[in-house]
Amino acid sequence: MVPSSGALDFTVLREGEDVGTYQIHFQRNGDALDVDVKTRIAVKIAFITVFRYEHDAHEVWRGDKLVSMETKTNDDGEDHSLVATANGNGELKIVGDGKELTAKGSMIPASLWNATFLETKELLNSQVGTALAIDVAFKGEEPITVKGKSIRAKHYSMTGALERELWYDSDWVLVKMAFKGRDGSDIQYVLR
């Protein structure tokens, strides 16, 4: 799940046009894994930005458990923030946009780099802190091009509150993502 390079760097394509980046950096810190996620998307029409999305997240993991997460998001002018911390009862205390809630400590954020979410029915919305009910189906292995090379990747289809097509390599590293944008456009995250 964690690439040997310590980073994943995706180009975000909208209808085949480069509109941004999705970057994930991994750093071991003793028995913890720090994960920094950064998304920058700007859709322009005739040199005018018509949509902007900026998301920064810092996740801290111990083993397969999320112990804390902080996020800040600008969703086309609408600001969101979230803080999640594990408590001693095996739960996550979440404050998202000023609202408090508690979730199972096994909940996985919707950053999708951690393929253990394939075993769950809920993801944590890392923008506002709500639970996202999902179903995931294995679609089989198929060849895809990653950094100019053909590889065999495991293809999963996620449906429900979050809809994504996801591809993972043989080491369970996320190598591609595709979905429909709010306006129905085709969005792809392509590893570079």
Cα dist from 55 to 59, 75, 97, 100, 126, whole Å? 13, 8, 14, 20, 9
Residue 60 lies in a domain: yes
The count of domains in the chain is 1
b or e along 37-60 (b: 16 or more beta carbons within 10 Å of the residue's beta carbon)? bebbbebeeeeeeebebbbebebb
- The single-letter DSSP state of residue 121 is S
Which pLDDT tens digit goes with each residue over 42-99? Answer: 999 999 999 999 999 999 999 889 999 999 999 999 999 999 999 888 899 999 998 9
Residues of the domain holding 113: 7-191
Residue 72 lies in a domain: yes
Residue 2 lies in a domain: no
Residue 1 lies in a domain: no
What are phi and psi for residue 99, nearest 5 degrees? -100, 135
* Of 42, 37, 40, the residue nearest 8 (C-alpha): 37
